[in-house]
Structure 1
């Protein structure tokens, strides 16, 4: 299936049905009175997050979605039927924004989440609504209200805990295949990965996390070199970045330190918050170096990068060091979740009026008693 992570659509909710002007006509009922019913509501347009989808390809070719209008009101106190709703099934992680202003309107972050993106118009009133003691034979009615029309931009940002970052041919695809259930295309030429891949890493019983592999970056991606920045949005929701560096490139003249710095610079150009995410250094293809050369090269890379965080020496091909890496990642993610779930404890001795509802009003005096 073709991977599409961006699409533009137009959604049109149904118009409400018109109200009806009608009077009761029965034998021996000379003044039957008004009995024109209201029009029906127009159909809504809903969006629902479907966990079985991972692309917006269905919206690349069908771009207009229009719900049915409500039925008009009828005589004999009959209201019009509501128009049928339509539901757009979107991948989890889809951001829905206004195509003209760019304002983010909705985000689908949970499987099965359902939101209303275009409201159908209300039905118009029939003449039975205008009956009163003064106006006993009203001939007024109102038309149905128009449904909402919106031009929307759909943007998919995959939901993953960990993102793999690195130059083309750094071994990211081999790594995600070694530690997860993902089976990306792997070959000995650059830009083998053309779209993001997701994999679930099983650490133990009921212990797992999701890792995302995006196409490799090169220097000048901000100006459109290589595949550019078009897939970096898929790393914006990750909690941790793993910067994969090839310590044994085929071309010995390649400076892997300069490449690593260039990728960091491209991240900063794209999004400052993404650049500031925790980023660990993963030195791949260590099995291709002799032990003495390996130790010297790793020491040189870390020293020149002035890197102070965790460093992992692995071989995605032989799985060397992969278990240590995934366990460290899982522990980091769990510690982060715990920190996010623990509520902030406020010491009442240092509470402010905004924190404490029982604080005195401005201008009032308070008396503090000291305990001896």
Structure 2
């Protein structure tokens, strides 16, 4: 299998291992934040506030901080970011208290961790393609996406076992340990890149050496030259906007429509996780067609599944719909990330930052607005969200196909050249 071949490459193995641990850490962190906030306030509103506080740095840095993001475009710099995240997460259990002051400390740390995460995410995504040969980029992106799919299945059980031995607040310290391991991995990758560059120089070949602080290009000129990417990022935002319906509304829908409780909700999530795992193995190892067609097709399937949840007459149908929804998720994620990886390093970093900003902004708006629609009418909310996503994806596919045939856009190529 292609993934196993990639893991024989030491740099990929180090990155994938640290990413797998980091994804588990993210599960610990997400659960800890929500439970600690709820236990200290008894308010779901404050849980929403915590989610918004985490998203604010992503939106602000992505919108106004392109030069700041570019300062961290090396593995060494990413190591320091993760060291900072490790220190903040490990300090939180020591500073937290079950009162208003403790809540303020928690929200401040959430903001700090969100800021460091906003700098880390796009930079790592921009560096990953240079670890492998051009023809392996899709596969390595799929391999990293696989960590998320595995965590979706194994994560809840692992968190449940951990909570038998520690409290929710102590989960932050465990999350800090995963950041520390990631920091060591980033520093190792930095040293590995320098060794590789020296060997390449001695043999007379070229090797890319990540250097932080290179000028960050403006996003708009790049997006104007590549309207397919503009359309895809916009569709990504719509997808994250309507995702609030399923994130918040699936438990309510199952309870109202099918009389299901927590067990039914857990089964539905397991079906989505299984579908996502299968979808990752497919999209990560196969070239299925023109990237924008595959991408829009995945989002159209996602829209149909949202609509399907709303009309599902029984639990087996819900599980089937969930499995199909899971199949579409990695197809969209890996396809877009692979397309963005075709650009030169600095344009790639800027576009990944823009994409992150768009989905964080859209997701935040969705979480602030759509739960009210779910409370009023769960079935209608799912149907409306599904139709919106389906129509948007279909229009994107049609417009993207027409633009692709126009000479001035068809001739435009990413600076870094095609990788697939």
Range of TM-score over shorter length: under 0.3
TM-score under structure 2 normalisation? 0.21
Structure with greater Cα Rg: 1
Q: Which has the higher helix share?
A: 2
Higher strand share: 1
